[in-house]
Amino acid sequence: MNLIHHNPFRILGVTANASLSDRKQQANLIAQYLKIGQNAKLDFDITPPLSPIERTKELIELQSSRIHSTEDKIMHSLFWFVQANGVDKIALKHLTKSKDIDKALNDFEKGCRGFVATPISYSSIINHSTLQIIAYRRHKNLNKLKEAISNKFKIVSDLKTLNLLKGLVAADGMNTTVDRILELTLPKLKELLYELVPEENTDKLILDIFKSNKVIYAGLENEVIGLLVEKVTVLISKTESSRGKLLKSNFSSSILKDIPLLGKKLVEDSKIHLENIESLIGKPDSNYTNVLQNLFEEVNFCGVLPFNKLIEAINDVQSSRSSVIKLKKDAELSHIIALYKLAIQSLDGFTIPIKNTLIENLKGIGEFELEETCSFCNLNEMNESRQVKIPMYKFTDFIKSQYTYFKDGGVAVSCCSSCYNKITSRKVLSFVIAFAVYAGLAAVTSGVTLVIDGFFARFKLYTFWSSWVKKKIYYSEVEKHPVIRKFVLEGYEFGAP
C-alpha cells in the first residue's frame, strides 16, 4: 500500500491538484504542530482505514522532490484523490469529514457515469478507484479491487483522458505519453498488488485485470511471458554448455548416464516456469510452443549425442571384435531411454516438430542391440572365447585340381557356450560313430572288409564313410550359421580336398 500510504500528496495533506497556496497552508499547519511536538491530524489522512503518518520536517521537505516531473505528478495523483468538479468536492468532503467510506464510494460512483472515461467522469473514476483500493483491506472483495484498478488505468491508457489529468495536476509541466506513464506506473501497481494480495500470482492477476485493455495487455503479456521465457532460456544454455564439456573428451561410458541426467534436470527445473507460462497464456500461444520446442531440442541432444558418440566409438574399433564387445557390454542405454520417455510424456497434448524427432529417436535407440546374440541359436549371448573352425574348400579349376581353402583350420565363427558344446560334441560323435561302424563291419567280416579297403582302395571306403557320417551329424549342424551357409551357396565344400 506504499503507493497510497506514502503518497506524497497524502503526506502533504492535500488533493493531487491542490493549489500552491493550499499546499503552503497545509505545510504551515504541519510545521506548527511539529513546533509543539505534536503530530498533525489532517483531513486527507484517511485514518482509519489508513494507518497514521509520522510527519517530520525532513519528511515534508522531501516530498516536493517526489512530485517534481510531470510523470511523477501524474503517477502519484493516479493513486490519490483529485478535485476537478462539484461532485468531487462534495464526495471528498464526505470522505474527509465523516470518514464514511461507503457513502463516499456512492458519491464518487455517481460522478463516474458508468465508468466511461470522459472529461466529466475521469476525476471521479480516479477517486472512486483509489478509495476502493483503500477499502480492499476491509471488504476483501478481489473482484471489486480488480475492477477498480482496471477503471483507473483506463484514464492513463488513453491519451485524451491522460491529457485531462495532466492538465489538472501538471498544467505547466512538459508533455508526456501513454507509454511513458505505463512504463512508470505498472511496476508500482505490481508492488501494490503483491502487498494487497500476496496469495495470488501477481503476473496472472495483472494480466487478468487488463485482459480487455488492448493498450496495456499486449505489452504486459510480452513482458511477463518474456521474463519467464528468459528463465527457461538460461536453463537451456546452462545445460548446453555442460553437455558440450562432457562431449568434448573421448568416449567414456559415463556420458551415457551423465548427459541424459543433465537433460532430465533441465526438464525438471523448467517445469515450474512452463506451468506459469501455461497458466498465464494457455497452450495454443506461439510464445509458449516456441520455448517448448527450444527446450526439448536440447533435451533431444542430451539423449542422441551421447548415443552417437557410442556408435562412433564402436565404429572406430570395428576391426577388434573384443573391443566392440567390451564397448557394448559397458554401455547402458536406460538413462537415455528414460529421458526420451520423460520428454515425450511432458509433451503430451502438444504438436510441435521436436516431438516426432523424440519419438523416432526413442524408437531407433530402443531397437539398437547392445548384446550380440549367437547366430547358431539366435538365443544366447555370444561368448567371445568360444569359436568353432570349419574346414571348407572350393575348386577354382576342377580339371587342373586347383582349389582355394581357409587356412588355420577353417572358417572361424563365434558362438555361445551352449552351441559350442553342442557342435564340438557332434564332431566327436560323428568320428566315434563312423569308426565304430567301420570297426564293427571289420569284426563281423573277420577283417575281410578292412583288408580289401586297405589294400585295394587305400582306405577310400573309410574316408567316404566317415565324411558321409560327419556331413550328416556335424556339417548339417554348422551349416545353420549364416556365414557358413553363405560359403556353401558360393560353392564351398566341407572338409579338405
Nearest approach, Cβ of 317 to Zn ion (angstroms)? 24
Nearest approach, Cβ of 380 to Zn ion (angstroms)? 5
Cα dist. 423→127, 321, 447 in Å? 99, 22, 33
Identify residues 365-394 at the interface with Zn ion (CB under 5 A). Answer: 374, 376-377, 380
Q: Return the number of the residue (235 or 374) whose C-beta is nearest Zn ion.
A: 374
Which residue from 172, 168, 169, 132 is spatially nearest to 152, judged by alpha carbons?
132
Q: Return the number of the residue (213 or 418) whose C-beta is nearest Zn ion.
A: 418
Cα dist. 414→206, 321, 417 in Å? 71, 10, 9
Q: Return the number of the residue (295 or 419) whose C-beta is nearest Zn ion.
A: 419
Identify residues 176-205 at the interface with Zn ion (CB under 5 A). Answer: none
Nearest approach, Cβ of 470 to Zn ion (angstroms)? 21
Q: Return the number of the residue (253 or 380) whose C-beta is nearest Zn ion.
A: 380
What residues are paired with 493 via a beta bridge? 393
Nearest approach, Cβ of 417 to Zn ion (angstroms)? 8
Spell out the residues 6+ positions from residue 427 whose beta carbon is closer than 8 angstroms to its own: 470, 474
Give yes or no for residue 234 binding Zn ion (CB under 5 A): no
CA 238/CA 344 separation, integer angstroms? 22
C-alpha cell at 223: 513482458
Degrees, nearest 5: CA angle 55-58-59: 45
- Three-state DSSP at 58 gives helix
Burial class for 208, CB neighbours closer than 10 Å (0-12, 13-18, 19+): middle
Per DSSP, 43 falls in state G
Q: Return the number of the residue (412 or 496) whose C-beta is nearest Zn ion.
A: 412
Q: Return the number of the residue (275 or 381) whose C-beta is nearest Zn ion.
A: 381
Q: Return the number of the residue (312 or 381) whose C-beta is nearest Zn ion.
A: 381
Identify residues 402-441 at the interface with Zn ion (CB under 5 A). Answer: 416, 419
Nearest approach, Cβ of 413 to Zn ion (angstroms)? 11
Nearest approach, Cβ of 420 to Zn ion (angstroms)? 8
Q: Return the number of the residue (148 or 416) whose C-beta is nearest Zn ion.
A: 416
Q: Return the number of the residue (182 or 390) whose C-beta is nearest Zn ion.
A: 390
Degrees, nearest 5: CA angle 70-71-73: 65
The type of residue at 495 is G
Q: Return the number of the residue (57 or 486) whose C-beta is nearest Zn ion.
A: 486
Nearest approach, Cβ of 471 to Zn ion (angstroms)? 21
Interface pattern 289-308 for Zn ion (x via CB under 5 A): --------------------
Nearest approach, Cβ of 386 to Zn ion (angstroms)? 9
DSSP codes joined into one string, 282-348: -TT-HHHHHHHHHHHHHHHHHHHHHHHHHHHHHHHTTT-HHHHHHHHHH---HHHHHHHHHHHHHTT
Per DSSP, 98 falls in state I
With CB under 5 A as the rule, give the number of residues binding Zn ion: 6
4 in Cβ contact with 81 (< 8 Å): no
- Three-state DSSP at 392 gives strand
The distance in angstroms from the start CA to the end CA of the chain is: 104
CA 338/CA 261 separation, integer angstroms? 10
Nearest approach, Cβ of 494 to Zn ion (angstroms)? 20
Nearest approach, Cβ of 489 to Zn ion (angstroms)? 22
Q: Return the number of the residue (164 or 374) whose C-beta is nearest Zn ion.
A: 374
Nearest approach, Cβ of 416 to Zn ion (angstroms)? 4
Cα dist. 84→20, 417, 424, 473 in Å? 16, 100, 110, 114
224 in Cβ contact with 207 (< 8 Å): yes
User: Which residues of the shown chain bind Zn ion in the complex (CB under 5 A)?
Assistant: 374, 376-377, 380, 416, 419
